[in-house]
């Protein structure tokens, strides 16, 4: 739910070559079931989605803050 500019800086810092969603309106986090509705904050969650739109991996909690696992999933060959 970070801003697009903050996500852009994060991606540049890590040398990422894939898009990171900025969900400032909280519509996606709500649809994916990770939004705490009363306080309007999302649970820390990373979804790795392939080019076909298939979710390949979901990390939540503290592990979602560490991009290493998401990067390793992105490096796997696609099916």
Count of the separate structural domains present in the chain = 1
Across the chain, mean pLDDT equals 82
Q: What is the DSSP letter of 78?
A: P
- Per-residue pLDDT, 35: 92
Kindly report the pTM of this predicted structure: 0.64
The Cα 7–Cα 57 span in angstroms is 20
Write the pLDDT tens digit of every residue in 24-48: 899 999 999 999 988 988 888 888 8
**Which CATH number is 45's domain given?**
3.40.30.10
- Per-residue pLDDT, 10: 85
- The pair of structure tokens assigned to 14 is 């890590």
Which has more confidence, 66 or 13? 13
In a domain, 25, yes or no: yes
- Within 10 A of 73 (CB to CB), how many other CB atoms are there? 15
Q: What range defines the domain where residue 55 resides?
A: 4-74
Q: What stretch of H or E contains 41?
A: strand 41-42
55-60 and 41-42 beta bridge pairing: unpaired
- Per-residue pLDDT, 76: 67
């Amino acid at each position: 739910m970070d801003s697009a500019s903050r996500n852009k800086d994060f991606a540049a810092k890590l040398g990422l070559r894939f898009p990171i969603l900025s969900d400032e309106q909280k519509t996606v986090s709500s649809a994916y079931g990770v939004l705490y509705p009363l306080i309007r904050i999302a649970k820390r969650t990373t979804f790795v989605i392939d080019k076909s739109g298939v979710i390949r991996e979901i990390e939540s909690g503290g592990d979602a803050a560490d991009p290493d696992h998401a990067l390793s999933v992105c490096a796997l060959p696609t099916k």
